[in-house]
Amino acid sequence: MTAAPLSQISRPPQGGTSTPVIEIHGLHKAYGQLEVLKGVDLTAPRGHVISLIGSSGSGKSTLLRCCNLLEDSQQGEIRFEGEAVRWKGQGQGRHPADRAQVTRIRTNLSMVFQQFNLWSHMTILQNVMEAPVTVLKRDPAEVEAKAREYLAKVGIADKADAWPAMLSGGQQQRAAIARALCMEPRALLFDEPTSALDPELEQEVIRVIKALAEEGRTMILVTHDMKLAADCSDHVIFLHQGVIEEEGPPAAVFGTPQTARLRGFLSASS
């Protein structure tokens, strides 16, 4: 089965009053004495793309990992589709109180990392199928059909039986995106998905991400690529030293930056 090209799928109208997929309020995260996030708010409405930009060490990737509960935060509220994460303990001792809740949330927030993290002993098709079959206990035949559909969607249907080592970096990252899509999550989280690629291979992945945005996927994207953030985002957040220095629609953030720090960052990134 061949899926329709993503670029042919119209992005649905935005707005409405539906509950956001992810809401974060007053989030604080520290590693010992190093405070990385200092009271950050973030809302990801359904069907919107939120881009996180900022210098290395500004807290972007840490914020993304806190969204997915891969990192414990010391203070603040995280909600997934209106449901608050339940915590026990305080400060450095704060941890999620309900592991089943964490597992359920993580299975609905698929993350694509900078490094592809494909299992080298599995074919590309097996990589894409693994989590839906073993974690979600879905029927393998149904998962295989979906997996092949998503591989076609990202343009590597012909690589289903290949091993990861046989693929280029761009193809491996597209396989990782197909693997994330096969979980059929409520949102996709991208942590610098193109930074490990050379410019030509980077464009392969950027085309897929832009097409997913046009499809109306809910996404949070940490990126160093300002053009990608400008082209596919509904909202851009500029982090500096663990706080939101400036945020808004991409036309405002990139066209009329209000703060000297953002102007300097954009100038250095161009």
**pLDDT tens sequence across 119-152:** 999 999 999 999 999 999 999 999 999 999 999 9
Question: What average pLDDT does the segment 238-246 reach?
Answer: 97
**Averaged pLDDT of the chain:** 91
pLDDT for position 4? 36
pLDDT for position 43? 97
- pTM of the model as a whole: 0.90
Domain ranges of the chain: 18-102+218-270
Fold for the domain defined by 18-102+218-270: Rossmann fold (3.40.50)
Q: What is the 3-state secondary structure (H, E, C) of the chain?
A: CCCCCHHHCCCCCCCCCCCCCEEEEEEEEEECCEEEEEEEEEEECCCCEEEEECCCCCCHHHHHHHHCCCCCCCEEEEEECCEECCEECCHHHCEECCHHHHHHHHHCEEEECCCCCCCCCCCHHHHHHHHHHHCCCCCHHHHHHHHHHHHHHCCCHHHCCCCHHHCCHHHHHHHHHHHHHHCCCCEEEEECCCCCCCHHHHHHHHHHHHHHHHHCCCEEEECCCHHHHHHHCCEEEEEECCEEEEEECHHHHHHCCCCHHHHHHHHHHC
pLDDT for position 7? 34
